[in-house]
Chains A and B, each alone.
Chain A
């Protein structure tokens, strides 16, 4: 990045490739539209407004951009799911709920480069024909809400939002909608229900695929903050050129957020698949803490299945098959999926050998039990059950067969719920039990096998409490 200077101690690592985070921590940078426009801000919106809508979507498809929120679904393909004969209004929602534990990328865009997002949103809205868009922001970003609203006002004042944008005849209003502290609002249909003023209970799909029946039962595109920022750069570079960054089927850059037991946790924008886990931990993050060994990594937000440090992963098929250690894994969607986990939201949580896996799992189970919306049976009942088992496990009150029960409960949630929260809450348990069974069993007490661990369960069974 020629000519850009960053705040002291915050310069990007040499292995980073800053596109979305180009202006994050940049010296002399601020959130005003003037600063943004000095560097060509809103030029891509102007360019897009002169393009055919289908051509924009085609560029995004060609770029290979995959959603950065967690599922990694191709963005351009998602946009084409709006029914072709649609006559209803189309809405765009930017998912800024950033709530997957381990993920902290959107906050910097929102706090430091809001116009980049607004421009990306405006281009996307034009492409899909949306005249009304909402930015759903998590409640815990009050400052971001103020910053983005100010930026929206500036964009309005400069003719980049509102009626007849830049004389194109295209109208667009963007409003900020603040959540109130619920992980489930990151699920797109839960988010939509929340935005409709209801309990954010995810909708069943079918029939409620947002692109056909979303907000107010109208076609709605829901994209992550980072994803929408990429749209701006795709217009700038062209889809083909963009697709040259990153790797095949895993194009572009993405922001990795690293937390846990590394020397220098933080955020790093890298080309997808061009950096390995080893480089992330050892180079970008300065390695593990002194004297510590790697125990496990959760590679894509807390719901991604944990990877054990000493696992050997087989990826690729047939002649392309190769074996990888955890250090060799390129950080891309497909390889992490092949390793049995996922790139998810880009939140990498590193755990060294000082950590109790029972304790880690219990922490995650506590999170998911707290965040289960309670709408559908398996997740509502199972998430709290799993937490209660691991509560006992860390308190020394669990028996080895409780570990089997724990695993069975997770399996009974996985794949059987309304939304992906079922997987999100069961995968940690499934993977921790599969990979750290011995350690969990070591924390259990065989003597408790037939013990009554909760006398209350007996009196409840007697049932005389009406």
Chain B
């Protein structure tokens, strides 16, 4: 059952006021709030957003599927995004990905374009590659949920921070 808690809805309603010209502009913030709360954006979340903003659901789905920042599958408790763009790749982001997966027991063999996220068997960690996270001087860089980590060389140490 998909229910948006009252306080979350109140927060969302406040956000919508930031767009006095067009409620449609609030699509991204509403989706961010829902993803923050639910972990990912289900079909119900898409339809709730559409109803909230008076849009056709396809207009919301168009947006959700465009942005890699929105997930349509449940991530782990800690979602890791490893930057793979040039500077980080030169600094070893592929190696970092491998060791994070190894330490967290994540199997990325099933990862495809449409399913970019792999989750550890215990559901604690999930991981995906991300494009440039804008800290190119200090690679390899990754994010764990909202936390930013630069020059990550110790995968195990990083994961330990989240146990």
Contacts and interface: CB of A to CB of B under 8 A. Distances in A.
A89 B22 CA distance: 14
Nearest to A185: B67
Interface string A127-144: 000001000001111110
Interface stretch (A27-35, A112-120, A190-198, A240-248): A190-198
A364 B88 CA distance: 12
Given A196-B24, A196-B25, A363-B89, A104 B69 contact: no
A367 B148 contact: no
A181 B116 CA distance: 14
A387 to B, nearest CB: 12
Contact of B63 (A177, A198, A259, A366): A198
Nearest to B70: A180
B45 to A, nearest CB: 14
Using C-beta atoms within 8 Å of the partner chain, give the interface range for chain B: 35 or more
A266 B137 contact: yes
A175 B18 contact: yes
A140 B133 contact: yes
B67 A179 contact: yes
Nearest to B135: A104
A302 interface: yes
A132 B20 contact: yes
A140 B86 contact: no
A101 interface: yes
A132 B81 CA distance: 34
Contacts of B24: 196-198
For A138, A140, A367, the residue with the greatest tally of chain B CB atoms inside 10 Å of its CB is A140
A351 interface: yes
A351 B91 CA distance: 11
Using C-beta atoms within 8 Å of the partner chain, give the interface range for chain A: 35 or more
A74 interface: no
Contacts of A216: 21-22
B137 A104 contact: yes
Interface stretch (B28-36, B100-108, B117-125, B152-160): B28-36
A101 B87 contact: yes
A337 B134 CA distance: 24
B96 interface: no
Given A181-B130, A266-B137, A364-B86, A199 B66 contact: yes
B143 interface: yes
A371 interface: yes
Given A139-B32, A140-B143, A367-B132, 11 more contacts: A101-B132, A104-B135, A178-B28, A180-B70, A181-B67, A197-B59, A198-B59, A265-B136, A266-B138, A349-B87, A351-B90
* Top 10 A-B residue pairs of the complex, sorted by shortest distance between their CB atoms: A181-B69, A180-B67, A180-B69, A259-B87, A259-B136, A197-B27, A197-B24, A265-B137, A175-B18, A139-B69
Interface of B: 18-22, 24-29, 31-32, 53, 55, 59, 62-63, 66-70, 81, 84-87, 89-90, 130-139, 143, 146, 148
